Amino acid sequence: MAEQIPNEKTIDDTIDLLKEGYLYIKNRTDEYRINLFETRLLGQKAVCISGEEAVKIFYDPEKFKRNGAAPKRVQKTLFGENAIQTLDGKEHIRRKALFLSLMGPDAQQRLAQMAAAEWEACIPKWEKAVRIVLFDEAKNLLCRAACRWAGVPLREEETGKRAQEFMDMVYAFGAVGPRHWKGRMARTSAEDWVRGIIEDVRADKIKAEDGSVLKEMALYRDKDGRQLDAQIAAVELINVLRPITAIATFITFAALSLLEHPRYKGWLEGGDEQRIEWFAQEVRRFYPFGPFLGAKVRKNFTWNGYEFKKGLLVLLDMYGTNHDEKIWGDPDVFRPERFRDWNGSLFNFIPHGGSDPSRGHRCPGEGITLEIMKATLDFLVNKIDYDVPAQNLNIPLNKIPTLPESGFIIQNVKKKT
Ligand code: HEM
């Protein structure tokens, strides 16, 4: 059987991965009409898998582990070293419970309401501005809201710098050269800042509110009753602030989708919450953000006729699964109503990973993301009018992560009456 599994017979396919970006895995699974193939990336053998059945095995903790899967260059930029992303087993489940306890429905609503209030507060300034780059506004606004929500002190004049650092970490993923180094410098600077705050909370120099994300992270104890090293606590607190800021990317895609599909503006007017939610879900499915996820085989097993050997690197295609025609029928059509019929599976819609977040690595911030997107969509559709001037809205699929080139410029903003 194993001979039938396609193999990219190259010395190393990293250059093709860089050239094809989000489409690298999908191009091959489409061409071979199979949901796995073997390749070599960054000097090692790897197997790429895609589709709902692939998601199910990828999230089986008996088969896969995360420790040792993420390259150092990703840990030094996007994740941080010794972060939750690299943990397995009981230690992971325990730390994950901390994250999830801070991100329940009430906390989601509180943050979304803060974001909504911040958007409304932008209107007077925007009405006077010649042009507004939505991505830049969103990242600063979300960084400010994230810090306030988490109880992290942030001076207004510092907001732009910290927001940029968080985005530089995100946009270092998949980068080589200057973009990678920018991400490393951003991480060092942000970790120094946040570690200082954690130490001040522990020394009682900063009074953190009971139940706040800041206090819970600073005082969290592992299963042996030990506090996290201040450096690791900083990495984990950044693991909350950075991705909230990064929702700016989805917000930019949401604004673009309103422009590209103007009939949905009318559909969303009036603020029907169900429609707004379907629209936000479709933005998360349709546009490229997370490309793929990596894990290492924990112990030998066979799947679809292929022998997965202990230690093998496996990449799960997120973008391809969100565009799999077996799941979505017409994946390249932007159609929010499709979520009316979606079966709610934990394994077929994976912009934030798959399976149950309390048992595996699926993102704990999915609810926050959705609520912030809904609040922002309501603002863009129901609270303001604006024009979109000619600009470069191309989304390069060979850049990971990507974004409309212009960052989405709007002008002539007016408050709706
Ligand atoms: C993990 C996507 C927002 C916190 C992940 C994973 C993905 C993801 C794909 C990895 C899943 C896996 O490894 O199996 C996103 C996207 C977001 C977003 C596209 C939108 C911007 C958030 C938010 C938070 C957050 C708002 C927190 C407030 C985390 C954490 C992890 C994670 C802590 C690691 C979980 C673990 O390893 O168990 N996210 N996320 N993310 N995300 Fe998010």
pLDDT digits (tens, 9 = 90+) for 130-178: 999 999 999 999 999 999 999 999 999 999 999 999 999 999 987 888 8
User: What is the DSSP annotation of 73-132?
Assistant: HHIIIII-TT-GGG--HHHHHHHHHHHHHTSSHHHHHHHHHHHHHHHHHHHHHHHH-S-E
Total domains in the fold of the chain? 1
* Position in ligand 1 atom list of the atom nearest CA 360: 38
CB 170 within 8 A of CB 242: yes
pLDDT of residue 3: 46
The CA distance from 331 to 108, in Å, is 29
For residue 187, what are the domain limits? 2-415
> pLDDT tens digit string along 248-274?
999 999 999 999 999 999 999 988 999
pLDDT of residue 1: 38
- CATH number for position 23: 1.10.630.10
Distance 415 CA to ligand 1 centre (A): 34
Distance 404 CA to ligand 1 centre (A): 22
Phi, psi of 115 (to 5 degrees): -65, -40
- Evaluate if pTM is beyond 0.90: yes
CB 412 within 8 A of CB 37: no
Residue in 147, 349, 363 to alter for ligand 1 test, most ligand atoms within 8 A of Cβ: 363
Distance 351 CA to ligand 1 centre (A): 9
* Position in ligand 1 atom list of the atom nearest CA 239: 33
* Position in ligand 1 atom list of the atom nearest CA 58: 14
pLDDT of residue 42: 85
| Residue ranges lining ligand 1, Cβ < 6 Å | 84-85, 96, 99, 103, 239-240, 243-244, 246-247, 250, 289-290, 293, 351-353, 361-365, 368-369
Classify 409 as helix, strand or coil.
Answer: strand
CB 264 within 8 A of CB 258: yes
> Which of the residues in the chain have pLDDT under 70?
1-3, 9
**Could you identify the residue written with the tokens 């599976």?**
345
Is the ipTM, as predicted for this complex, more than 0.90? yes
Nearest CA to ligand 1 atom 31: 363
Distance 363 CA to ligand 1 centre (A): 4
Distance 66 CA to ligand 1 centre (A): 14
pLDDT of residue 2: 43
Residue in 103, 352, 376 to alter for ligand 1 test, most ligand atoms within 8 A of Cβ: 352
